[in-house]
Amino acid sequence: MPHRSDRSSSNFDPAVVRDTGIPELPLTEIRQRNREDIENVAAEFEVAPSLLRRWTAWLDDDSYWPSFSTVTHGEVYPAHQLMDGPVNLSVLDWTTAAIGDPARDFMFHHASVSASAFENTSARSVEAGGRIWPRFAEHCGELYSTPPVELGLYALQTGDPEHMSAARTQLNPQN
């Protein structure tokens, strides 16, 4: 049976896959890891104050965050979707699967469609058994704002001058 985009991995009960060996990331650990990653990057790069304020406010405010974890693919975007016109036949490459923040599977969609299209997708997901919370869309937007931190960490790991330059640009776009 074809999978529709509203029948995402977030509709799966985590208990079903818990014994498979995929990582399980408690939401408190995810938030703390994000906070530490931001601190580590900010210690090595100049980060725009507006980004630091944004990320801190997001991490400090419980209302952004879900109270539950789900199975997540982790990278649901067009390159990982097998489509037949408007029908999503499958989601490919599950190497980043985890039990954790449900927004991981919706953040790219949130960033690439209108607010009404995202609301429609969210409603279809709920109809199919998924769960959302009041600030789900906003949380997706905040999560989508953090790739500069990931790039900063990667640049620090590789030490590559091009990676360092790209990280500097993304972490402080006004410079």
pLDDT above 60 for 4: no
Locate 77 and state its tokens. Answer: 């975007």
The CATH number of domain 9-171 is 3.50.50.60: no
DSSP letter assigned to residue 17 = H
CA 23-24-25 angle, to 5 degrees, is 110
Instruction: Report the pLDDT value the prediction gives residue 1, as an integer from 0 to 100.
Output: 30
Q: What is the pTM of this model?
A: 0.84
Domain ranges of the chain: 9-171
Place of tokens 């991995």: 9
Locate 121 and state its tokens. Answer: 């997708």
53-104 pLDDT, tens digit per residue, is 999 999 999 999 999 988 877 666 677 677 788 777 777 667 677 888 999 8
Q: Between 38 and 127, name the one with better pLDDT.
A: 38
38-47, 63-72, 151-160: range with lowest mean pLDDT: 63-72
